[in-house]
Amino acid sequence: MSEPFDPVRYFTRVHQTPFYHAMHIGMATFAGLQAGMEVLDMGCGPGRLVGHLWQQGVRVVGADGDWCMVARARELYGERPFVITLAADLPFANGRFDAVLAGNLLFFLDDPLAALREMVRVVRPGGRVTTWNPSEQMNLPAALDYITRHPEMTDFGRKHLVNWCGIAETNRRWSGDELAALFAAAGLTNFATMTTLDGLARYGRGERG
């Protein structure tokens, strides 16, 4: 009999896969993070990006709506700040952060615009909100093609990419124009986007006016 699915154990493994961690690091780079910045990582999961950025001198608060994920993050990176909160109801003052990150989060929320507006609220004027989510190119044939072209992927990494693709196909995938419209509706300006994972995922970045 197989063991019941444990999302905390699963996503702890996901965060350790090289391709997923590289997308997290790419998001931080795309955001233009620098040492000394105050940053919120919304949807931090088990916290690997938070741990990495603290090592780079970035002061990050990790946040997640799943208390079990936050408990694992505290277990792994206990010296770092983690809070339990939903993205659409953040317990932070207006303009609290220099930047907000949200990796692989918006695409499965019921109301991504409400969550994005909250991220805009807690970032300072001129600060950036940066995300990554499945792009319009994410589908099962494309994911299988990526796996074929990247034999260095682990078996678990391959499994996760296929699982992620299935979730994306039944939730949301954003083109550059669609993501630009979402960011504009949230009050962000100077929108920029680029793809990663050979086009399967998309970064988005905007500034609070």
What is the residue-averaged pLDDT of the chain?
96
User: For residue 78, what pLDDT is reported?
Assistant: 86
What's the pLDDT score for residue 1? 52
User: Residue range 10-19: average pLDDT?
Assistant: 95
Q: Residue 193 falls within a domain, yes or no?
A: yes
CATH number where 130 lies: 3.40.50.150
Residue 38 has pLDDT above 80, yes or no: yes
Is 148 inside a domain boundary? Answer: no
Q: What percent of the chain has pLDDT over 90?
A: 96
Q: Does residue 64 belong to any structural domain of this protein?
A: yes
Number of Cβ atoms within 10 Å of the Cβ of 7: 14
Q: And the tokens for 115?
A: 């969550």
Integer Cα distance of 143 and 147 in angstroms: 6
Residues 6 or more apart whose Cβ sits within 8 Å of residue 80 = 47, 50, 51, 54, 60, 62, 73
Q: Summarize the confidence of residues 16-28 as an average pLDDT.
A: 96
pLDDT over 70 (residue 162): yes
Tokens matching residue 76: 């792994």
Residues in Cβ contact with 3 at an 8 Å cutoff, skipping those fewer than 6 apart: none
Total domains in the fold of the chain: 1
pLDDT score recorded for residue 8: 95
In a domain, 37, yes or no: yes
The two tokens of residue 179 are 């993501």
**68 within domain boundaries:** yes
Instruction: Look at residue 145 and tell me if it is in a domain.
Output: no
The pLDDT of residue 102 = 98
What are φ and ψ of residue 75, in 5° steps? -65, -40
Mean pLDDT of 74-90: 94
pTM value surpassing 0.85: yes
Coil vs helix vs strand at 187: coil
SS3 of 207, please?
strand
Residue 94 inside a domain? The answer is yes
- Interstrand relation of 59-64 and 97-103 (parallel, antiparallel or unpaired): unpaired
The verdict on residue 146 lying in a domain is no
DSSP 8-state assignment for residue 95: T
- Residue range of the domain that includes 34: 7-134+173-208
What are phi and psi for residue 6, nearest 5 degrees?
-115, 100
